[in-house]
Structure 1
Amino acid sequence: MSAVSCLLTEHQFLCSICLDVFTDPVSTPCGHNFCKTCITEHWNINVPYQCPNCKKVFYSKPELQVNTFISEMAAQFRQSAQQKASSSSSEQQAAKPGEVPCDVCTGTKVKALKSCLVCLASYCETHLEPHLTASRLKKHQLIDPVENLEGRMCTKHDKLLELFCKTDQMCVCMLCTVSDHKTHDVVPLKEEYEGKKAELGKTEAETQQMIQKRRLKIQEIKRSVELSKEDADREIAGGVQVFSALKESVERSQAELIDTIKEKQRETEKQAEGFIKELEQEISELKKRSSEVEQLSRSEDHLHLLQSLPSLNAAPPTKDWTEVSVRPPSYEGTVRRAVKQLEETLSKQMKKLLEAELKRVQQYAVDVTLDPDTANPYLILSDDGKQVKHVDIKKNLSDNSERFDHGVVILAKQSFSSGRFYYSIQFNSILFI
């Protein structure tokens, strides 16, 4: 018998219901063989009684007879297969920590090559062979080896989770669609997998975009610091030139001037360092999330992706950096305030200094025109929009949401939110801008 069993292949000893080697094989009246437990449970569920293979219907439950010959052959084959698998496993390297072991190996657990979503088992190269050769097993869905295959079964119906309920956002089996999820929006697992994977790709792209924006903001802040330092250097040089000419009598004022300017620069750098540190922290958190999203989006395991998605860390809290910037401190008047203390002896130097500062500030000059749509009815605007005066008689003007009805106010057409701008205002009577 041993010689005969060696000529037979494993799929000839498989029960067509459990797809495993026969256990207590019995024969039906139509001549087909099944595990006793498998065919009994099958007929307990399905009435009338029907052969799973040839579909022959029996109107009364047939009496099952133990097939002694098949039982002995299956036992002989199982023993031979276990010895062969044990010998093969001993020649292969055992699965390392973190690797999925073969579920069939009885001795050394060899690293699994594939996992079967139908058998809910993982197989090494040796034990995977029936799935590659047997016609019935070829129809099974094989994936890269994964752990916890039991988690792919519906806990209520003990069926494979192969559908996704969009209504309840959960994976379900076929029987769930006719019970708890009968009226719900249910789609194949693969369809939902593709959709969620596309969303993950979009999330990853958005995360990368956020990282890039923050890198650009860092460059902007660093450039602001450089400009601030250039302004500080120019201001220091001008102050040194003024106070050097005053010799010993103004050395103390010169030192105070330099300290004031440098303190402003240190405050600017400190502010910039704080922004950069916060941006780099956000980049670090975003990179971490990007890595998690990328790793999950590369998964070919439909169920693993969908079950892992809810536990994916939420996007880290980030600041809106659009309006954040480091504004270089203004140094105009710093030297003037220092020199003013010595105005009795420095009147000529003060005059030169004021002229130089005015010239420097005027490079930021802007042409401001008043906006008549915002003028209070008690204000009269000149034709060129450069002058305005207050009167006692209220003008009859059209309704305008931008007009100041209560405060005697007028705005300019131009608006400035950042940068340096120079313009002068002359008060002849009452002017509000």
Structure 2
Amino acid sequence: MCKVQLGPFLELHKNFQLCSIVEKFQTASSKGKQGKEKASPQGKEIIPCDFCLEQPHTAVKTCLTCEASLCQAHLSKHNAKAAQKDHVLVEPSNNSSLQERKCGEHGKLLECYCEDDLIFVCVMCSIAGSHKGHRIITLKAEYDKELVVFSDTMELMQKNKSAMNKTLGELQKSENQLQLNKKTLDAQLSNLFKEIKAEVDQKEKQILADIQSSAKKQLSDIATLKKETEKKRDEAAKDLQDLQMLRAQTDPFQFLREFKLAQDRINNQDFSTDSMEVLALQLDQATIAAARSWTQQYISNLDSLMQAVHSQFINQTRRNRAAPDFRDHFHYQGNPYHIFFKQQQQQQQPQPPMFSFGNLHFSRK
């Protein structure tokens, strides 16, 4: 309640906001409501100014304190009043958007954040409500803290995307090496079999067929890994794109809600990668020399001799698993969370440790 004593010469100022509301309702009774909310040709909702009388202009801001939307002209008059300097202004919102920003218990604006229960609260909640005695901060303070987490999440996603591209490059090199190994073996084996064509023609076909079958299977394994990695990379790129779009969000309420949804989605994804290392392989020269000198015995010994080569070809690929580039521990001053990334090495022996956003563990201070 204003307790200023009015003197005989004190100038009284007209309450423009109250007068505009009264005039608006008086005009509406004779002309009818002209449509509170419209839609633009592009499908974007247009919120009309609550203070315009004849033809409402499009609102440019919504004052959560006044619970009214204002066009540019009325916004300038609104902001010119010293008593309204601290009012909360957001992008134009309809009534349903305003209601979700209010406390269901007290009907007040959700202007604060409870660090104990990790939810939005109003001022009354902290004074006489269920959050009395809790650690309460402003939405802006929580927004500033979460921006730190947001920045590190962006950095991690960028590193994961780069790791996917690096793995794809390594897989391509492995594929080329495997093709080169196959080509080398084909040439060496063909030269050897030409020398003893009459005796080993059938065995040549058998060996080459086995190698072809193994190469096809191993190439299929690499193709599968490439496809899986490309999918993970695309998911990481999409998450990164969503985060980049979220960075432009200046409304703390929308930002916090959308960022927490993005965090949950990222936490449930697996960004571990598998690469395939292919070792360089060719026939041992000692094997070739022995084969030439033992031509008469080659037919009987060929099967056992080539089995060793075949085994090397089968085992030329070696799968390596690279973990996402996470830091072991994040701690931000004033943040209610400690974020830990735990390895699964103990649970997955003897396989290499796997990492994923699903390993996020949160603990309260």
Q: Say whether 1:327 aligns with 2:274.
A: no
Unaligned runs of 5+ in 2: 6-14, 310-351, 353-365
1:317 maps to which of 238, 246, 269? 269
Q: What is the one-letter code of the residue matched to 2:134?
A: H
Quick one: which of 43, 47, 63 aligns to 1:101? Answer: 47
Counterpart in 1 of 2:204? 254
Q: 1:195 aligns with which of 125, 132, 145?
A: 145
State the Cα distance separating 1:304 from its structure 2 match: 1.6
- Map 1:68-79 → 2, pairs under 5 A: 74=19, 78=23
Flag the 1:131–1:235 CA change in 2: closer, same or farther, 3 A: same
Q: Does 1:344 align with 2:291?
A: no
1:94–1:288 Cα change, 3 Å:
closer
* Alpha-carbon offset, residue 137 of structure 1: 3.7
Q: Residue by residue, what CA displacement relative to the aligned partner does 1:209-267 show, whole Å, maximum 9, x if unpaired?
A: 11111211111111111112111111110111111223444333222222222222212
Deviation at 1:285, TM superposition (A): 1.7
Distance of 2:122 and 2:234 partners within structure 1: 40
Distance 2:197 2:71 in 1: 91
- Corresponding letter in the other structure for 2:192: V
Per mean C-alpha deviation after superposition, the further-off stretch among 153-162 and 245-254 is: 245-254
Say whether the 8 Å CA contact 1:131–1:140 is kept in structure 2: no
Task: Give the CA deviation at 1:201.
Answer: 1.6
Percent identical across equivalent pairs?
A: 20
Residues 1:158 and 2:103 are matched in the alignment: no
1:115 is matched with 62
Do the aligned partners of residues 155 and 244 (structure 1) sit closer, same or farther apart at CA in structure 2, a change above 3 Å counting?
A: same
For the residues of structure 1 that align with 2:44 and 2:91, how far apart are their CA atoms? 14
Unaligned runs of 5+ in 1: 1-51, 57-69, 358-416, 418-433
Equivalence for 1:44:
none
Look at both structures and tell me which one has the larger radius of gyration over its CA atoms: 1
Distance 1:75 1:298, change over 3 A: closer
**Is the Cα contact below 8 Å between 2:168 and 2:226 reproduced in 1?**
yes
The change in CA–CA distance for 1:270 and 1:196 in structure 2 (over 3 A counts) is same
- Write the letter of the residue equivalent to 2:173: R
Query: Structure 2 vs 1, CA of residues 281 and 107 (structure 1 numbering), >3 Å: closer, same or farther?
Result: farther
Tell me how far apart the structure 2 counterparts of residues 307 and 76 of structure 1 sit (CA, whole Å).
33
Distance 1:107 1:205, change over 3 A: farther
Is residue 2:168 matched to residue 1:168?
Answer: no
Asked if structure 1 preserves the Cα contact closer than 8 Å seen for 2:39 and 2:46, the reply is no
Q: Name the structure 1 match of 2:176.
A: 226
TM-score between the two structures when normalised by the length of structure 1: 0.55
TM-score, normalised by the number of residues in structure 2: 0.64
What number of residue pairs does the alignment pair up? Answer: 278
Deviation track 1:280-334 (CA, whole Å, cap 9, x = no partner) reads 1111222222223333333110112223344334214315336x4243596658x
Greater helix fraction, Structure 1 or Structure 2 = 2
2:240 counterpart (290, 301, 311): 290
Instruction: Specify the alignment match of 1:182 in structure 2.
Output: 132
